[in-house]
Each structure stands twice: as C-alpha cells, then as structure tokens.
Amino acid sequence: MAEPATNLSRLRDVVPTLLILAALAATPMVALAIGDPFIVKVATRVVIFAIAAVALNFVVGYGGLVSLCHAGFFGIGGYVVGILAWHDFNAEPLWFMSGTSDLAISLPAAILLSAMIATIVGAISLRTSGPYFLMITLAFNQMFYYGAIALQKYGGDDGLQIMSTITLGPLDVSNRYRFFYLALAVLALTLLLVGRFVDSRFGMVLRASSKNETRVIAVGVDPWLYRLAAFVVSAVLTAVAGALLAAGQQFISPVDMGWDRSGDLVVMAVLGGVGVVWGPAIGAAAFVVLELVLSSWTTHWQFVFGLLIVLIVVSLRGGLADLAQTLFARRSGEAKHG
Amino acid sequence: MKKLIASAFVLSLLSSAAIAADPVKIGFLSTFSGPGGQLGQELLDGFNLALEENGKTIGGRPVEIIQGDDQAKPDVGRQAADKMIERDKVQIMTGINFSNVMLAVAKPALDAGAFIVSSNAGPSQYAGAQCHPHFFAASFQNDTASEAMGLYLQNKGVKKMYLLAPNYPAGKDFLAGFKRFYKGQIVGEVYTTFGQLDYAAEIAQVRAANPDGVYFFYPGGMGINFVKQYNQAGLKKTIPLYGPSFSLDQTVLPAIGDAAVGAFASAFWAESFDNPASKKFVAAFEAKYKRIPSPNAADAYDTARLIDAAAKSIGGKIEDKAAFRKALETVKFDSVRGKFRFNTNHFPIQDFYLTEIVKDAKGRPVMAVREKIDSDHKDAYVDKCKMAN
Amino acid sequence: MADVILAVDRLMKSFGGLRATNDLSLEVLRGECHAIIGPNGAGKTTFISQLQGMLAPDAGTITLNGRDITGEPAHRRARLGIARSFQITSLVPDFSVLDHAALAVQARLGHSFRFWKNARRDPALVAPAREAVETVGLASRENTLARDLSHGEARQLELAIAIAQQPKLLLLDEPMAGMGRKDGVAMTELLARLKRDYSIILIEHDMQAVFSLADRISVLVAGHIIKTGAPEVIRTDPDVRAAYLGH
Amino acid sequence: MTLSLITEQLLNGVQLGVMLFLMSAGLTLVFGIMNFINLTHGSLYMIGAFAGAATQAATGSFLLAMLVAPLVAAAAGLALETTLLRRFYGRDHLDQVLVTFGSILALNEATRMIFGLTPLRMNLPPALSGHVDIAGIPYPTFRLAILITGLIVAGLLYLVIMRTRIGMWVRAGASNRPIASAMGVNVPLVFAALFGAGAALAGLAGVMAGPILSVQVGMGEPILILALVVTVIGGVGSIRGALVAALLVGVVDTLGRVLLTPALGSMAIFVMMAAILAFRPKGLFPAHG
C-alpha cells in the first residue's frame, strides 16, 4: 500500500534531478557550439552555489533550522584550499605538513576541518531554536568573517589569490571544462546523498523533529543529536562547495563568507523551493543568472531583482519548484486529455 | 535552466550585435550597487565626460564601453570581468575601485592579454613585486596621499599625532604610508571595524590623548560619520583634522557640510586647481552632472584622455600590444593634475598639495589649495618591481 | 509489590503560586486500566506530563518497574516503555498515517543513524507499523497525510503511534476529546480491546466510558488524589460525589 | 583610562543603546505578536532619515524634520503592511525573510533612484550643536538630546504597555497569541497600528541619527542587524528585554572597541550574543512561556 506514494515521490524527485543534471551537463557543449566559453564559467558558478544551497536546505527545509553561518563554512572550505595552495606555492611548511595544490588532499582537509568546527558550533547553537537559532548562527558567521579578516598573512580583507595550478590527484583541473564536470559530479553526489538521507530513517527523524518536536520525543527520540549530525553534514557539503569556488576562481576572500552571502544561500534555497531536494539547485541557477542578466541591463537591477523575489514569494508557495511542478503537471494533464 | 542561460546569452548578443565594426572595447568594472555605488558612478561620469568631449572615440576609433557591477564583492567582480574578457572581448579594463576586487580580477585579465589601466585602485602588490607590462595605474598608488601628509606634518614640526583608519588592508596601507614620512610621536593608532557607524568612543579617546593633530582615513560613509561626529564633539578647533583627499572630497563633502570646514587634505588634484585643463573639466562636469567633481572623477577623466592620447600616438592600433604598452609608458597628455608621467612600475609620478576645506562662493565646502607639499612624488614600491620587457 | 508497574510518591509541581500537583501518590498495577478523573483544572494533564517527562516535578519520585525514572528525560522514558497519546492531537502534518507509526517503530528499534535505506520501503518498519495502524482501524487511510485526517481519525492515529511503541504503560490523555457519539463508541470498543494487552492510565471526561473501561479509578482534586478504588466504590463514595460528581 | 573617560564612554554606550532601543521596540513587538520577522525595519529607518533630511533641506527646520520623519516612516510602514506584508503573518518564517529581503532590495534601489547617489546632509540646529559640561566632560549637546529623547520615548512606551488597555492587549498578544486574537479585538486593525507605530519609532531613530551618521542608501542594514541582536538577546516580544539588551549591546560595543583589539572589538557583541543564547536559549526575558 505504501508503494504508490513512494513511486510518486520518486517520480517527483528523480525525474527533475536528472533533468537538471542533464541540462547542466549539456551546457559546455552548447557553449562550444555557439562559441561562448563564458557560459561554462557561469554554469560552474551555478553548480557551486547549487551544491551549497542544496546542502543548506538539508537543515533549512528538512530540519527546520535556518542557519545563517553557512557562508562561514563555505569560506572555511575555500580558505583551506587557498591556504594549502599558498604554502605549496611559497614552499613554506604549514606546521608539520607541507602545502598542497592537490584537491585530493585539500578537499578531505576542508571536510575534516569544517566537520570539527560545525560540531562545536552546532552543539552550542542547537541549544536554541527558531529565530534564536537564526541569530546565534549569524553571530558565529560574524566570528568566522572577522576571523578571516584577521588572517593578515593570507591577505586579510584583500583575500587570498591562488597562484599555483590546482590538480586532482594526477589530473590538472585548471581546464574550465574539466573543472566544470568535476563540480557537476560533486553536485550530483550532493543531490544523491541529500536525496537518500531525507528518505532514510535518519531523515524521517529529522523531518518529524522540524514539524513536531514533542511528538518525536514522545516516541523516544532525542532530536538534538540528529539535528547536530544534519548540521555537520550540511556544513561539510557547503565547505566542499566553497573549496570548489576557491579552486575554480583561484581566489577566496572574506566577502565570500559575509553574513549577506549566508542570506543569499537561504534566498536561493527558498526561491527554488525547500520542499524538494532539487529545488534549491533551481533557486541557485535563477539567482546567479538573474543577477548576471539584470545587472548587465541596468545599474538599478536590484530594484527589479527585489520585486521579482517579492512576486515569486507572493505567488508561489513552494518556490520555483512549485512552478516547475505545476507546469509539468499541466503538460502531462493536457497530454492525457489530448 | 539551460534555457535561461541560453536566453541570457541571446539577449546580450542582440545588444552587442548592432555595434559598428572595429570599435575599441573597454570594460568598465566598478561598484554600482549598494552603499559603495556612488564611487562607481563618480568614476563612470568622469570617464564618460572625457569620451564625450572626444566624440566618443579612442585613438580615432569608435569606442564601446561594457559596464559591469562588482557589488564590492571580489567574486562577483571576477565573474563580471570574465564576461567582459571572454564574451565581450574587451581590450582594456578600467574603473575598478576596490583593491580586493582588483586583486581578484587583475591576474585573469592580464593572463588573457587585456590591458588594465586603473582609474582608481592602486594596490601595492601591482606597484611592487607583481608589477606587469600591461598593468597601468593612471590614478595613484594607495599610500602616496598619506605619505604626502606625513611629509607635510613632519616638515611643519607637528609633534604628537593620533591616527585612525578602518581595519582593512587599505586602512593599514594608508597609515603605514603616513608613518613612512612622519617621524614625530604617534600617541594613538586605532583601527576600527570596517563600516563602523558611531565614533563617539574613539573621539573620546582622542580627546583624552590630547594630540596636536588627527590623521584619519575613512572613505565614504565612514568619513561622513567620523567628521560630523568629530565636529560635534567640539574638537575640530583644538585638534585639527588631517586626511588624504579621499576622506574629504566631493563624494562626502556635500553630506558633511560645514562640519568639514577647516580640515586639511593632501591631494594630487583638487577642484580649485588653477590650470586650463582642470578648469575646463570642472566647468564641464558641473554643467553636465550638477555637482562638483571629486579627485576620483578627475582621475577617471584623466584615464580616458590618457588612453586616448596613447592610442592616438600609434594611430589607434592598440592590437599591437608592444606598441600600445610603449605608447602608454611614454604618454603625453594634458592632465588636469598639471604634471603627470609614469614611473618604471607604471604608477604615476605626480605632485602633491596641501588643501584646506573652505566654503566656495556658493557656500559649498571645497578643497582650496594652500601649498605644494612635494614635487614628482614616487611610490615606495617601485624598487621591488622588476618590470618584464 | 511485583505487580506494581508504576509508583508515584509524593509528587509536587507548582506554577508560580499555583500548586498544580500537590503531594500526589499513586500506584498502577500491571495489566490494569487505571482511570484518573477530576474536575477541570484538577491538574490531570500536568500530572501526565510529569509521568511522560515533558515536565519536571519539584519534588517526589516516579518509579517504573521498580526503577526510579524521576530524573530521566522524556525520550528515555519512552524507550523504557511509557507511551503517551496527547489530549491535543500532536502529529506531523506532512507525514502519512503509516509514517507516524513507522517513526514510533524505528524509535523502538534503536538509534536512527541509518542514512541510506529508504525508511518507507523498509519492511522492518512498515510491517509492524501497518499492524498498529490496522489495530486502531485506520488501514484504509494509511497513506493519508495527517493534515487531511478527520478529528476522529487523528485521535485514532494518536493511539496507533502509542501502540507501535509497544509500551509497557500507555498514558491516554482524553482519547475521546472532541469526538462525536459514534466515534466515541468506536473508540471505547477499541480501548476495551487494548486494555487486554497493556497497562493503561486513562484520563477521560466521558464517565460512561470511564466506568465501563476502568479497573480502578483515582479521583484527582486540586492536584491531590482524594480517593482510589474500584468503579462501583468510586461511584457511591460520598466524598467523591461531593467533590466532583455532586453537582 | 581615567574615571572621566570611563564615564564618557559609558554615556556613549548608553546613547547608542537608546538609539538601538528605538529601533528594536517595533521589531520585537511585531516579531512577538504577529510572529513576523520584519527585515524591512531597517528600510523604514532609512526612509525616516531621508524624509527628515529632505524636510530640513526644504524648510530649514530641524524640528519639522523630527515631526515629519516618523510620520513618513509610519505611512511607508502602513503601506507595506496593508498591501504586502500582512499576507505573510501566518506563513513560514522563511517566506517572511524572503519577501522582506526582496522588499529591502527594491526599497533601497527606489530610494537611490529618487535621491541619487550622493549621501544627504542633515545639519544640527544651533541650539543643539554645542556641547554641555557633564562632570568635567564636554559632551555633545545633540547626543545628550538623543539620550534624553530616547529615554522619554522608552518611558512612555513602558507606561503605555504596562498601564493602558492597548498595552495589556499587546502584552497578552506577545505571550499568548491565540488568547489575544480571542479577545475580540479588530485584529487586522490593531496589527496594522502596531506595525505603523513600530515604523514611526524606526523613522524617529533614523531622523535622530541623521545629523550624526551619513544619510545614504544602505544605512538601514547595519542597524537592522544590531536591532535583531538586541531583539533576540532581550527575548522576542519583550519590551523590557529590548531595553536591557539595547543598553547592554550599546555599552559592550562601545567598551569593546576601546578596550579590545580591532578583530575582537568587532566580534564583541556577537560573542556576547552567542554566549547569552547558549545559556539562555530564549533570551534574557522570554515573553513566550
């Protein structure tokens, strides 16, 4: 009896996910065909922010925890890659180890460090809930931000340039096409992971806790540890996105971890739709592309952008994913009738 | 999503397809949105004014300006620069006002073979070790205005100074520049949070330290807040304010008002400059934009005319990069600053003046030139630059 | 004493100046259905909340199966075998009926740090969950979301969740609250079936149901148990009549 | 530091705190009663400052500016509330954040289109431009005026909320929403009035900040963040909490800047907020049980 519901939800999740990934995978070919390699750079940025937004949505949409410190984790990932590359380029050892420009080493390092920091930050922040959680995570984000500015050795407010060539094991990923597909693979992995997690036993506890904590406690589960685990998973994936951003643009700066960037990530998630795993990916794409297109039209683009956001949130309850699903449903409905 | 990107592309294609053949393409990347948006507009207005006077040509060729907004964020600036270079195929980039954006953008732009002729940001990295054959700063090196003020106060024999700046690299550069020439006693050196609103606490500390003068670098809104509050605390008469022109120019003076009158600024250009090029520029700018130009606008105006003069000297063939570089290095043009030439690191050698804020005939606060501080001032990083041939 | 499943000893709880629970002592025997009745505001729900662990008492002890659980948090008491159905329905709006029961089953089976397998297609969860849902008569609605359930169905689901926990002691806080007559009769029949398998503490205003279901009844007035006894004893007790039934 | 310097810095801290209280009062009540996170509160502050600066530029009267600014901010607040924001009272916090975030962008840019890019100027009236002697410290008269005005408004607000029928309703609303709506009041009307009153206070804070700070687009966001910090430290919905937290934030921020290194000074209030919330997860004076 549970099967029909499951199949329906699989259709709802798997088909759009595959469509998104396929569309993205095709962009470099489109770029080549029409001779505009810049599209690949935009697509890479879309993919990186999509990873962060999907990861953030694991706690926002499914855990009910609106975190404003994810830009901090984004930046931590970026700075791990940047600082290791700096030590590699300047041939200066970092404590006991030498620097590296190999993502095969710096990505795990970013994962490890962000997991450790997220565990501490999460353990403290999860004592609170609702708007208080929002603000305590904002406080931590500010601490990360000012912490990065205090890194004078690594450029402080000026940011950190990556001068060396970034590799992945023996593979040189400084080629934009290769790098794009690397980022896309990480996005696919993120969508798969989050998609499995939310439907697992873990996900059931997380989702139930976000809507009715009392009920979850009453059946014998303390949500705290589950929330913490979700927070850490989400932070780690976001840090990976940040690491990719730094590697891709060969640059990381404190601006990449400001609180407004945290806000942007939340906006991407909500804009796309927090109710489905792939929603935030659409939100990230809309955000990045709209910003680019509108700002090339007029210096007053933020006026249009702001009104568009208001319009979307007024008319669509589930974000852009809602629109996509409605269109999809109508089309298949028409097909049936026709 | 693919559709979205594709349609974005088509739209921008439509806008660029109509341009006539062979224009000079200049990417103007600056901050146009958010609180920093004023500076980008100031730079663009100065740049556009020069182009209009020139019949919208550079080196005798039509010119196409591709505008980009960096939102004061390095990664956004980087993306906009990528677009300019890869899609719009710009040959020259200018306009950048924040050092951190410049540092994120310069390397890929230069790697792609574009020229950067900065109309504002002049980070020490590109004046020194990272100097590049295709990187020119037509404006200034960040530290130099502060060096001039330090030199002035040193020569004048002022004994005790109190220094204030925001806690970010440019703030540290400015105070370091000041200390490079000022050897008197520094009774306080305070770095405040970038974007701080209220300076009551710092001003109270200044009063308690009772220095002979305060040197401050607060660009934009921070400067407005600081000067107003300093004046309200009643300190301006007893402890004079000294700053680089960026803290006291026309981007902030109208908002500060009378509170700034009596403060001193070191400048490479001021609206009261008495040379024909400068007078013509100020009059034209005021007529067109209904406000007095700032040194930033003057720099952007000079930048456009400098590029034009260099391009003209080689018959507009800027595609010959070696020739264009040579032309820029030896450029001769009628600068609003009076004297202008490039040093070996492609940063300017220029004169610095002491100005005092006074009210002009219409009661508006302006920078009035009092004396020349230094002739042919060079930046401190030129020795670190091993310019490639 | 082996047949006592729950012992409450001199429990105290105050809110500001109000003594919601005042020197309350009570023993519940294994297998019995023990009803607690009392006028509105007597402190019944406050008492249940302290048994479940959502509220911490100011003083006194609670012993489950001879083990002092006074200091245990609510989730651990649930694992020790206390299940509660809420007076005001407490569900997850976008979970289906079956999801709710499955959540209770997975909580009973140990930790839920299992990230990969789809919980909705896990027979270890679905089979016992479906059993609980069938027990309360919601089999035909198992895929309906909680927010689409009628009030009566939501009350049934509350029970299904509690049953799926396979508890040693069921705390039922007004399971018939807000139900019409027909639903009420069905619920009474359901409870009659359940009392064969579980020890139950029942709070209920429907006196007909209470007297037909309860093995023993305690009367709670102003946070204190004034009387405990078999239904027929309580029915005729003059103190109880005066305090509660009299008007 | 000498005693007089400490006194002066404390005065500075309290003065900043009073400004923050004016900002936070409306924010915390709207948040507590309508359960609405109003990020446009900073924009209303900006609108107040611009309205004040424009009034002064047109008439030369600072007093008139002080009167006009709260009215314009209230009008703008009411317009926002009735046309857009009231639909979001029952919705998820995330939707509220998104709609107010979009509104901030549009409002900021609209202000820029109307007033241009150059920051506006507000002059002090001669009577307030000097300084007064407080225990040997020459303290700016205008800052003292802000302090006194703020304390008067805080006092009045306290009286209204603690002593009047409206205040009773507001308190009930902040601690128990269903009861409030069951009290048979015209709920939409009272919500709008409350929103408007909060907007007026934000506008008042804006115009009072005008002579001290630069009146420019984007001035609302930094103060919004501080007001949110105050709201949360004090406990959402609690006026008393907002007052205590505002003073605390004002003093800690001021002293932190003076006593700590720049990086730590910038972080001081955020470290304080994290520490307070870690031990009191619902703020210092939680209004909801």
The answer to whether residue D288 sits within a structural domain is no
> Locate tokens 């960037």: which residue?
A261
The alpha carbon of residue A31 is apart from the nearest alpha carbon of chain D, in Å, by 32
* Whole-angstrom distance, CA of residue A130 vs CA of residue D36: 12
Total domains in the fold of chain A? 1
Query: 21-80 in D: which are within 8 Å (CB) of B?
Result: none
- Using CA atoms, how far residue B153 sits from B143, B212, B245, in Å, is 16, 10, 15
Q: Where are the beta strands (DSSP E) in chain A?
A: 160-161, 167-168, 171-172, 251-252
Which CATH number does the domain housing residue D207 bear? 1.10.3470
Q: Which of A296-300, C82-86, D249-253 has the lowest mean pLDDT?
A: A296-300
Q: Please state the rounded mean pLDDT for residues A183-207.
A: 95
The answer to whether residue A23 sits within a structural domain is yes
Which CATH number does the domain housing residue B133 bear? 3.40.50.2300
Q: Please state the rounded mean pLDDT for residues A209-238.
A: 95
pLDDT of residue D270: 92
The answer to whether residue B385 sits within a structural domain is no
pLDDT tens profile D206-223: 999 988 888 888 889 889
pLDDT tens profile D10-49: 988 999 999 999 999 989 988 888 888 899 999 999 999 9
Total domains in the fold of chain B? 2
Phi-psi region of B142 (alpha: psi -120 to 50; beta: other; left: phi over 0): alpha
Please determine, for residue D146, whether its predicted confidence score (pLDDT) is greater than 70.
yes
Query: Which chain C residues are Cβ-neighbours of A203 within 8 angstroms?
Result: 115, 119
pLDDT tens profile D90-110: 888 888 988 999 999 999 999
Burial of D52-75, coded b for 16+ CB within 10 Å and e otherwise, reads: bbbbbeeeeebeebbebbbbbbbb
The answer to whether residue A62 sits within a structural domain is yes
Q: Determine the structural domain holding residue D167 and report its residue range.
A: 3-279
**Cβ–Cβ gap B104/A301 under 8 Å:** no
pLDDT of residue A3: 41
Residues in chain D: 289
- φ, ψ (nearest 5 deg) of residue D158: -65, -45
The alpha carbon of residue A143 is apart from the nearest alpha carbon of chain C, in Å, by 31
> What 3-state class would DSSP assign to B90?
coil
CB D51 within 8 A of CB D203: yes
Same domain, B238 and B365: yes
Identify residue D241 by its one-letter amino acid code: G
Query: Which chain C residues are Cβ-neighbours of A219 within 8 angstroms?
Result: 78, 83, 103-104, 107-108, 161, 165
Q: What is the pTM of this model?
A: 0.88
Query: Which chain C residues are Cβ-neighbours of A221 within 8 angstroms?
Result: 75, 78, 107, 112
- B5 close to A (CB below 8 A): yes
Delimit the domains of chain C by residue range.
Answer: 4-245
The answer to whether residue D286 sits within a structural domain is no
* Whole-angstrom distance, CA of residue B56 vs CA of residue B65: 10
Same domain, B218 and B337: no
The answer to whether residue D70 sits within a structural domain is yes
Candidates D1, D112, D262; nearest CB to B193:
D262
* Whole-angstrom distance, CA of residue C136 vs CA of residue D136: 80
- A274 close to D (CB below 8 A): yes
Which residues, at least 6 apart from C6, have a Cβ–Cβ distance to it below 8 Å?
C26, C27, C28, C51, C62, C63, C64, C169, C199, C201
The chains found to touch C (3+ Cβ pairs under 8 angstroms) are A
pLDDT tens profile C90-149: 899 999 999 999 999 999 998 888 888 888 889 999 999 999 999 998 999 999 999 999
**Cβ–Cβ gap B202/D216 under 8 Å:** no
* Whole-angstrom distance, CA of residue D56 vs CA of residue D70: 14
Where helices occur in D84-186 by DSSP H, the ranges are: 93-115, 141-163, 165-175, 177-182
User: Which residue of chain D has the CA closest to A139?
Assistant: D270
pLDDT of residue A7: 52
CATH no. for C4-245:
3.40.50.300
**Cβ–Cβ gap B167/D123 under 8 Å:** no
Candidates C78, C99, C142; nearest CB to A218:
C78
Answer positive or negative: Cα dihedral of D198, D200, D205, D210: positive
Give residue A134's Cα distance to chain centre. Answer: 17
Task: Choose, out of C69, C77, C109, C112, the residue to mutate when testing the contact with A (most A CBs < 10 Å).
Answer: C112
The answer to whether ipTM exceeds 0.90 is no
The alpha carbon of residue D254 is apart from the nearest alpha carbon of chain B, in Å, by 6
The answer to whether residue A296 sits within a structural domain is no
pLDDT of residue A40: 94
Q: Please state the rounded mean pLDDT for residues D248-260.
A: 90
Instruction: Count CA atoms closer than 13 A to C178's CA, side-chain side.
Output: 12
Give per-10-residue mean pLDDT for chain C (247 aa).
Answer: 83 86 92 90 89 92 93 92 89 93 92 86 92 92 92 90 92 86 86 90 89 92 90 86 63
pLDDT of residue B14: 46
Query: Which chain D residues are Cβ-neighbours of B208 within 8 angstroms?
Result: 1-2, 5
- B82 close to A (CB below 8 A): yes
Which residues, at least 6 apart from A3, have a Cβ–Cβ distance to it below 8 Å?
C121
pLDDT tens profile A18-46: 999 999 999 999 999 998 889 999 999 99
**Cβ–Cβ gap A251/B75 under 8 Å:** yes
The alpha carbon of residue D282 is apart from the nearest alpha carbon of chain A, in Å, by 7
- φ, ψ (nearest 5 deg) of residue B35: -60, -25
Query: Which chain A residues are Cβ-neighbours of B98 within 8 angstroms?
Result: none
- D1 close to B (CB below 8 A): yes
pLDDT of residue C237: 85
Query: Which chain A residues are Cβ-neighbours of D107 within 8 angstroms?
Result: 306
Query: Which chain D residues are Cβ-neighbours of A142 within 8 angstroms?
Result: 266-267, 270
* Whole-angstrom distance, CA of residue C229 vs CA of residue C246: 18
* Whole-angstrom distance, CA of residue B212 vs CA of residue B160: 5
* Whole-angstrom distance, CA of residue A248 vs CA of residue A48: 9
Q: Determine the structural domain holding residue B107 and report its residue range.
A: 2-140+276-342
Q: Please state the rounded mean pLDDT for residues D184-200.
A: 84
**Cβ–Cβ gap A143/D270 under 8 Å:** yes
Same domain, B300 and B192: no
Query: Which chain D residues are Cβ-neighbours of B234 within 8 angstroms?
Result: 130-131, 138, 140
Same domain, B219 and B127: no
Instruction: Count CA atoms closer than 13 A to B382's CA, side-chain side.
Output: 17
- C161 close to A (CB below 8 A): yes
Instruction: Give pLDDT tens digits along chain B (389 positions).
Output: 445 555 555 555 444 443 334 899 999 999 988 777 888 999 999 999 999 999 999 998 999 999 999 988 888 899 899 999 999 999 999 999 988 899 889 988 999 999 999 999 888 889 999 999 999 999 999 899 999 999 999 999 999 999 999 888 788 889 999 999 999 999 999 998 888 888 988 999 999 999 999 999 998 888 998 999 999 888 988 999 999 998 899 989 998 988 999 999 999 999 999 999 999 999 999 999 999 999 999 999 999 999 999 999 999 999 999 999 999 999 999 999 988 999 999 999 999 999 999 999 999 999 999 999 999 999 999 999 999 87
Same domain, B233 and B300: no
Model confidence at A1, pLDDT cuts 50, 70, 90, reads: very low
Query: Which chain C residues are Cβ-neighbours of A237 within 8 angstroms?
Result: none
Same domain, B40 and B128: yes
Q: Determine the structural domain holding residue A81 and report its residue range.
A: 3-257
* Whole-angstrom distance, CA of residue A46 vs CA of residue A25: 12
Residue D61 carries which DSSP code?
Answer: -
**Cβ–Cβ gap D121/B255 under 8 Å:** yes
CB C132 within 8 A of CB C163: yes
The answer to whether residue A297 sits within a structural domain is no
The alpha carbon of residue B192 is apart from the nearest alpha carbon of chain D, in Å, by 6
Residues in chain C: 247
* Mean pLDDT score across all residues of chain A: 89
Total domains in the fold of chain D? 1
pLDDT tens profile D41-66: 999 999 999 999 999 999 989 999 99
Query: Which chain D residues are Cβ-neighbours of A267 within 8 angstroms?
Result: 97-98, 101
Answer positive or negative: Cα dihedral of B52, B55, B59, B63: positive
Dihedral (Cα; C65, C69, C70, C74), 10-degree rounding: -120
The chains found to touch A (3+ Cβ pairs under 8 angstroms) are B, C, D
Nearest in space to B214 (alpha carbons), one of B263, B147, B157: B263
The answer to whether residue D287 sits within a structural domain is no
